[in-house]
Amino acid sequence: MSPTLGRRVLLALALADVVFFGGWVAREESLRRGGRIYLPIEGYDPRDLLSGHYVRFQLVAVREAAAFLKPRGASVPQTFCIEPRDGLYHVKGIRTGGASSCSPFLRATIDQWAHWDFGIDRFYVDERLANEASRIQANPNTYLVTTVDDSGAVHAVDLVVNGKSFGPKGASR
């Protein structure tokens, strides 16, 4: 390959880096600024794997959605309407109509264990905090602070355990 062509490829690669990774970060940042949805969670399991320190959890919505529609054999993606109850959002039913039929709503696929999968199951925290989280049981003051985009995809902003925020400062607001 000629040096000129090689340098053009390098330029194209740099441009691809900027557009792709820059665009990805910009999109995630804009999604963080949306209205806050508080989703109750359960089932802690702190891990220390190659991915870093993170807390694994399951949204209560997974169980609630299964009560309305069994995942096995259901068509995907499926959308579920949610509503606030005592400050936290719970699934109130399957979304049947168009965008105006219910808001907000969550989009779900089915995971490999045939559970509803809302695309979020972990929150990265410091190792000490992850160990702390492992000793706490689920309760009404334990929830995930999220934003939900137009397609119903969930984006985590903060994890609150026993009223204590584990995310960046001011993320819960």
Partner 1 sequence: MRWVVWGIASVGGLAVAVGIISVIAANWDDIPEKLKLAACGALLLGSLGGAWRTSRLENLWPRDLFLLFHCGMVPATIGLIAQIYHLSGHPWRAVGLCAVFALPAAIVAKQGLLTDVFIGFLTLALGFFLSEYHWFDNLFQGDLRVVFVYAAFGLVLLLSVSAIRGAHFGASAAAKRWGIGLLAATAVAASGYWATASSRWLGQQPYPVLRWPMGIFLASAAALSAQLWWTRPPALRARLAAIAVLTLLLCGALVGRADETNLLLRQFVGFGLFAALCIAVAIAAAGSGSKLGTNLATLTLAGRVFVFYLELAKNLMTTGIGLIVTGLVCLAVAYAWWRFRRTLPVVALSRGAPG
Give the interface with partner 1 as residue ranges (CB under 8 A).
Answer: 1, 3, 6-7, 9-14, 16-18, 21-22, 24-25, 28, 32, 51-52, 54, 112, 119-126, 155-156, 168
- Least separation in angstroms between residue 161's CB and partner 1 is 14
- Least separation in angstroms between residue 153's CB and partner 1 is 10
CA distance 152 to 107: 5
- Least separation in angstroms between residue 119's CB and partner 1 is 7
What is the amino acid identity at position 114?
A: A
Among 62, 55, 72, smallest CA distance to 106 is for: 62
User: Quick one: 96 or 151, whose CB is closer to partner 1?
Assistant: 151
User: Quick one: 13 or 99, whose CB is closer to partner 1?
Assistant: 13
Among 96, 93, 117, 97, smallest CA distance to 107 is for: 117
- Least separation in angstroms between residue 56's CB and partner 1 is 9
Return the biggest CA–CA distance within the chain: 66
What is the strand order of the sheet 164-165 is part of? Answer: 122-124, 52-59, 37-49, 143-148, 154-161, 164-165
- Least separation in angstroms between residue 152's CB and partner 1 is 16
User: Quick one: 61 or 81, whose CB is closer to partner 1?
Assistant: 61
User: Quick one: 60 or 156, whose CB is closer to partner 1?
Assistant: 156
- The CA dihedral of 166, 169, 118, 77, to the nearest 10 degrees, is -170
User: Quick one: 17 or 83, whose CB is closer to partner 1?
Assistant: 17
Gyration radius of the chain's alpha carbons:
19
